[in-house]
Structure 1
Amino acid sequence: MKHIIALASKIAFTLALLYLILDRVYHASFLSVMFIALFLGFVSYLSGDMLVLPRTNNITASLADFGLSFVILWVFVLTQTRNDFSPFGAALLSAACLTVFEYFFHRYLLKNVLDENFQNELSARDNTLQYQTETADELFPETNEKHKE
């Protein structure tokens, strides 16, 4: 139930933010904005929030969400809006605003949505990489002369 509430709130905020930027400023249709908010909300929740965030930290997950949002929004703006403005600028502005929201949303997820087992694993995990190599005493191993006959 926690995931459903988190996903619904993410989609609602994404819709509100994209409505303000893409519909009011760049004159995209509301139906298109609603579709892209639903699509972007589901994709970024599954990839950024459930896959990247548990394995990395908040900053990395926010940057991954920025890249994903930027690419999806750029394609959307190129195909669904009038081209009397810069699609790059519209996608960049929208993705940057969504990234600020994502940073705080990830903090909410870490505190309230992700289970306690995950929190214990996250705090106990040692992030330092320790490499080990195998060594031997001989530089040149002895060969068995009997097998050469």
Structure 2
Amino acid sequence: MKHVKALTGKGVMTAALLFLVLGIANGVSVWSVLVLTIIIGAISYPLGDLVLLPRVKSLIAAAIDAGLVFAIILIAGAVISFSGPVLLAAITAAVLMGTAEYMFHFYLGTHVLFSSNRVKTDM
């Protein structure tokens, strides 16, 4: 159940940030934002948050998550029509998601992965 809560929180956070950056600022449809949210969550939660985070520091894991978001949005830019520059949208989304992921890692370290006691939430 703790993973369901964490994944739901991550999904809401990702959808909100992508909707602000892609939906409002770049005219991407809500459907496309939701599909990107699912893709990012399906890749970053099991690999980044459950496998990588307990092994490296939170800042490094957040930077890798930001890089993943950047790459996914750049790839999606070839398929989805943006009203603004795709590179700027990808950079903005990556920076915001990296910051949000860094804070999300503190939640994971205290509520989800605390039993392993290996989560490095310091810088």
- TM-score (norm: length of structure 1): 0.76
Task: For residue 74 of structure 1, report the CA deviation from its aligned partner.
Answer: 1.1
Q: How does 1:40-55 map onto structure 2 within 5 Å?
A: 40-55=40-55
1:47 CA displacement: 1.2
1:21-54 alpha-carbon deviations (Å, 9 max, x no partner): 1011100011011110111112111111011101
Contact 1:40–1:72 at 8 Å: present in 2 too? yes
In the alignment, the residues of structure 2 paired with residue 73 and residue 99 of structure 1 have an alpha-carbon distance, to the nearest angstrom, of: 14
The 8 Å contact of residues 19 and 33 in structure 2, kept in 1 or not, is answered as: yes
Residue 141 (structure 1) aligns with: none
Partner of 2:23: 23
1:20-99 equivalences in 2 (<5 Å) = 20-82=20-82, 84-99=83-98
> What is the letter of the counterpart of residue 109 of structure 1?
L
| Counterpart-to-counterpart distance in 1, 2:114 and 2:59 | 20
RMSD between aligned residues: 1.3
Structure 1 residue 61: Cα displacement: 0.5
Cα offset, 1:115, TM superposition: 4.0
Separation of aligned partners in 1, 2:81 and 2:89: 10
Aligned partner letter, 1:63: A
Tell me the residue number matched to 1:145: none
| Count of aligned pairs between the two proteins | 119
Please identify runs of 4+ aligned residues in structure 1 that moved more than 3 A. Answer: none
Deviation at 1:93, TM superposition (A): 0.4
For structure 2, which runs of at least 5 residues remain unmatched after alignment?
none
Which runs of no fewer than 5 residues in structure 1 stay unpaired? 124-149
Report the 3-state secondary structure (helix = DSSP H, G, I; strand = E; otherwise coil) of the residue aligned with 2:10. Answer: helix
| Identical amino acids, percent of aligned pairs | 34
Query: Secondary structure of 1:85's partner?
Result: coil
Tell me how far apart the structure 1 counterparts of residues 17 and 64 of structure 2 sit (CA, whole Å). Answer: 19
C-alpha displacement at 1:66, in angstroms?
1.1
Provide the secondary structure at the position in 1 that maps to 2:27. Answer: coil
SS at the partner of 1:54? Answer: coil
Greater displacement, 107-116 / 96-105: 107-116
Larger gyration radius, structure 1 or structure 2: 1
